[in-house]
Amino acid sequence: MTMRHRRVLRTLSVAGALLGALALSSCGGGDSGTPASGGSAQTGGAWIWALPAGFPTPAVPASNPMSAAKVDLGRHLFYDKRLSGNGQQACAGCHLQDKAFTDGVAVSRGSTGEFTARNAQPLGNVAYNPLLTWANPSLLVLERQMEVPLFGENPIEMGINESNKAAVLHRLADAAAYKDKFAAAFPGEADPVSWPNVIKAIAAFQRSLISGNSRYDQMLVGTAAFTPAEQRGRELFFGDQAGCSRCHNGFNFNDQVVDAATVAVSTPFHNIGLYNVGGTGAYPEPNRGVMELSGLFKDMGAFRAPSLRNVAVTAPYMHDGSVATLEEVVDIFAEGGRNVPSGPYAGDGRLNPYKSALIRPLGLTAQDKADLVAFLRTLTDTRFLTDPRHADPFKAP
């Protein structure tokens, strides 16, 4: 049995339903031949993906086809604090472009001061995620996920509720910035300023956030060369000894991917031995992974393997932001988990009974670990982090 077969595989029972909801919309072909261009282009109304080499065409729900006008509207809404109950918070408040749309803190603060339980996730290539957030097997599409930050009350993020919902829409309808934008994005609709359309536009903007122009990508197509350390790190990453690519693989360096041609999707979750509170195998509440929803102990501490694209700018790391640096992340994997020596969460995560069989002491030297970190740093796509098409439209360029 190969290592790949031994990993925890949860096959999505609703895969059929998901794929039924997804269909190719007005998308052009995949790779245009220009290497690693990233993002997308637009000609004559139809949306044309201009994808980096090796990137498949994203799946787009038939009910929300891509268009340049919709992406433009979504970008404005994403950066607009008026889209929160008290006018204090934008999506971009927790998803900052220069940090690959993360926010640099362990857990984030919502519009009314409440903290999220988990670390804000990067949004690059989010179009390819078949499941959203760290450990929720039931959040299948961006349009549904967005209801959490917009309307969620535990914790409050954007703080929109029944009593301010209409007022927030009026605020948008009255704003000069949106004059004509809703009508352009949703042509022919009598009343285009609506919550479903707000959600569709932001989802379209998020699907346009494609990142595939890192030095790693340039190395693959021969336009950049690796240093010896980066090359050694690459071999370790994809090799048997470190085995990182058993969970961080493919063009997006993760193991859950959906694209326009997907017929079956696998959605594994893994416990990597970060905690073992009191030796019981427990992770601290409310961050016990898929178990929070399934109630099953076998799902204790099981989280989604994140994409590692742009990982050098997304610190702190892990579902709860409890690891500060890439060096520490690699140390934890090298040890086969994390020992928490003291405090309320004391316990040796390396001995967690629910840990993935793939997480074990790797026998890496200090040089190996430094090489792995050097490789991870090649995954930064500077153009994506500064691309004006993804930037705050309310700021002068």
* From 124, 192, 306, 347, residue interacting with ligand HEC (rule: CB under 6 A): 306
Whether 286 contacts 357, CB under 8 Å: no
Q: Which is nearer to ligand HEC, 204 or 359 (CB)?
A: 359
* From 66, 201, 265, 311, residue interacting with ligand HEC (rule: CB under 6 A): 311
What backbone phi and psi angles, to 5 degrees, belong to 323?
A: -120, 125
* From 128, 303, 354, 384, residue interacting with ligand HEC (rule: CB under 6 A): 303
95/78 Cα distance (integer angstroms): 9
146/104 Cα distance (integer angstroms): 21
290 contacts ligand HEC (rule: CB under 6 A): no
Q: Which is nearer to ligand HEC, 137 or 192 (CB)?
A: 137
* From 142, 204, 257, 300, residue interacting with ligand HEC (rule: CB under 6 A): 142
Q: Which is nearer to ligand HEC, 25 or 319 (CB)?
A: 319
* From 146, 204, 265, 313, residue interacting with ligand HEC (rule: CB under 6 A): 146
51/34 Cα distance (integer angstroms): 9
Peptide bond between residue 149 and the one before it cis (omega within 30 degrees of 0): no
Q: Which is nearer to ligand HEC, 4 or 187 (CB)?
A: 4
| Beta-carbon-side half-sphere exposure of residue 201 (alpha carbons within 13 Å) | 27
Whether 362 contacts 243, CB under 8 Å: yes
* From 157, 230, 299, 381, residue interacting with ligand HEC (rule: CB under 6 A): 157
299 contacts ligand HEC (rule: CB under 6 A): no
79 contacts ligand HEC (rule: CB under 6 A): no
Size of the site for ligand HEC (CB under 6 A): 54
Lookup: tokens for 214? 């890192």
* From 215, 319, 350, 390, residue interacting with ligand HEC (rule: CB under 6 A): 319
Evaluated on CA atoms 123, 198, 393, 25, the torsion sign reads positive
374 contacts ligand HEC (rule: CB under 6 A): no
Amino acid letter for position 188: G
Exposure string for 82-115, b = 16+ CB within 10 A, e = fewer? ebbbeeebbbbbbbbbebbbbbebbbbbbbeeee
Binding mask 249-278 for ligand HEC (x = CB under 6 A): ---------------------x-x-x----
* From 66, 71, 126, 282, residue interacting with ligand HEC (rule: CB under 6 A): 126
SS3 292: helix
Neighbour tally for 197: CB within 10 Å: 21
Q: Which is nearer to ligand HEC, 38 or 301 (CB)?
A: 301
Query: Nearest CA to 353 among 244, 242, 275, 268?
Result: 275
Q: Which is nearer to ligand HEC, 42 or 136 (CB)?
A: 136
Q: Which is nearer to ligand HEC, 118 or 232 (CB)?
A: 118
209 contacts ligand HEC (rule: CB under 6 A): no
Whether 30 contacts 259, CB under 8 Å: no
Interface with ligand HEC (CB under 6 A): 7, 89, 91, 93-95, 108-110, 116, 118, 120-121, 123, 126, 129, 132-134, 142, 145-146, 149-150, 157-158, 202, 206, 242-244, 246-248, 270, 272, 274, 303, 305-306, 308, 311, 314, 317-319, 326, 329-330, 333, 356, 358-359, 372
